[in-house]
Amino acid sequence: MRPRSSKTTAKTCGLSTPETVDAAIGGGASHIGFVFFPRSPRNLSFDQAAGLAVRVPSHVKRVGVFVDPDDALIEQAIGAARLDAVQLHKTAPDRIAHLRSAFHTEIWAAIAVKTRADLDAAHHYAGVAERILYDAKTPEGALPGGMGVRFDWTLLDGFRHPLPWALSGGLHTDNVGEAIRRTGASLVDASSGLETEPGVKSVDKITSFLQAVAAS
């Protein structure tokens, strides 16, 4: 059991319809994630992202999810979806430093976690990212996120976080309360746990997830 200084907030990720964006906003999500990765079943075109982004009020932050993106993708996505932050998977610290100085945007560095040693990568992002996202390591060849895989939350026990952080990987309505109590996360992030099939978000699952976070 870990102490928390304030209520936990939630990012609902991989949204692709107006109904699910509205459900996330109405349910109290602090962040909404839009995926820009062609291999993902949640990938958005710039036009789709622009249409969804206009529904999001300013108190809810728009986060773009990328896998080692090139500059052109980031630039177009930031413009289309009016992103407040970018979440970068499999992106080296020097590359992140470049993107940060080129685009002056808030950066979340995703760390893939399976063992305690994996956490040490977080230290390489101090000074170049605003937040670490601890996500589960997925199987070789699979998408680096959005797979519903969780990691052993006890690995975070006693770890000295170099930056503000968020917890993700396999979270859903039935385990998010325990995840928050166990880790003390102040921000949690879920994607596939809010779906009926890959890429198809459920309004009911989004609503119950956000209720579980609020009740924790």
Ligand X SMILES: O=C(O)c1ccccc1N[C@@H]1O[C@H](COP(=O)(O)O)[C@@H](O)[C@H]1O
Residue type, 20: T
Closest distance to ligand X from the beta carbon of 138 (Å):
8
Is residue 30 a contact point for ligand X (CB under 6 A)? no
Which residues, numbered 72-101, are part of the site for ligand X (CB under 6 A)? 89
Candidate residues 52, 156, 192, 209; the one interacting with ligand X per rule CB under 6 A: 192
15: its two tokens: 């949204």
Distance CA 14, CA 35 (A): 6
Residue 204 annotated as catalytic: no
Is residue 42 a contact point for ligand X (CB under 6 A)? yes
Residue 135 annotated as catalytic: yes
Is residue 14 a contact point for ligand X (CB under 6 A)? yes
Closest distance to ligand X from the beta carbon of 105 (Å):
16
Distance CA 17, CA 67 (A): 22
CB-facing half-sphere around the CA of 197: CA atoms within 13 A? 0
CA distances from 191 to 52, 70, 121 (A): 17, 24, 23
Chain positions contacting ligand X, by CB under 6 A: 13-14, 33, 35, 37, 40, 42, 65, 67, 89, 133, 135, 143-149, 168-171, 189-193
